Amino acid sequence: MKALRHLTGLRPLLVFGLLLCAATTPLAPAQAHENNHDAAHTLLQQADDVRNPRQSYRVTSTLIEYRNGKEISRNQLAVFTRYDADTQQFRNLIRFLQPRRDNGKLLLKDGADLWFYDPAGKASIRISAQQRLLGQAANGDVVTTDLIRDYSAIQAGRATLQDAEGQNRDTIQLDLSARRADVTYARMQLWLDPKNGQSVKAALYAQSGTLLKTAWFRHYKPALGQLRPTETIIIDGLNPQLVTVIQSQDHQAMDVPAQWLQRQALENFNGR
**Domain boundaries defined on the chain:** 2-268
- Bridge-based pairing state of the strands 226-236 and 242-253: antiparallel
The residue that leads in pLDDT, 27 or 217, is: 217
- pLDDT tens-digit readout, 156-196: 999 999 999 999 999 999 999 999 988 999 999 999 999 99
- pLDDT tens-digit readout, 132-143: 898 899 999 999
- C-alpha–C-alpha distance, residues 62 and 142, integer Å: 10
- pLDDT tens-digit readout, 219-254: 999 999 999 999 999 999 999 999 999 999 999 999
Vertex 64 angle, CA 167 and 182, to 5° = 90
Amino acid identity at 219 = H
The number of beta carbons lying within 10 Å of the beta carbon of residue 17 is 9
| pLDDT higher than 80, residue 18 | no
Q: 71 in helix, strand or coil?
A: strand
pLDDT for 21 = 30
pLDDT for 22 = 30
161 burial via Cβ count (<10 Å: 0-12, 13-18, 19+): buried
- C-alpha–C-alpha distance, residues 140 and 129, integer Å: 4
- Percent of the chain whose pLDDT exceeds 70: 87
pLDDT for 132 = 87
Omega cis (within 30) before 99: yes
Amino acid identity at 147 = L
Do residues 50 and 198 touch, judged by C-beta distance below 8 A?
Answer: yes
| pLDDT higher than 50, residue 12 | no
| pLDDT higher than 50, residue 103 | yes
> How many angstroms separate the Cα of 228 from the Cα of each of 47, 164, 180, 183, 197?
10, 15, 27, 23, 10
Over the range 220-246, which residues count as b (16 or more CB within 10 Å of their CB) and which as e? Answer: beebeebebbbbbbbbbbeeebbbbbb
- C-alpha–C-alpha distance, residues 8 and 5, integer Å: 5
**In the structure, what pLDDT confidence band is assigned to residue 88 with cuts at 50, 70 and 90?**
confident
Mean pLDDT across 78-84: 94
Average pLDDT of the chain to the nearest whole number: 87
Amino acid identity at 238 = L
Architecture of domain 2-268 in CATH?
Clam (2.50)
Element of type H or E holding 1 = none
- Per-residue DSSP letter, 53: -
- Count, in order, helices (H) and strands (E) of the chain: 3, 15
Lowest mean pLDDT among 17-31, 51-65, 93-107, 125-139: 17-31
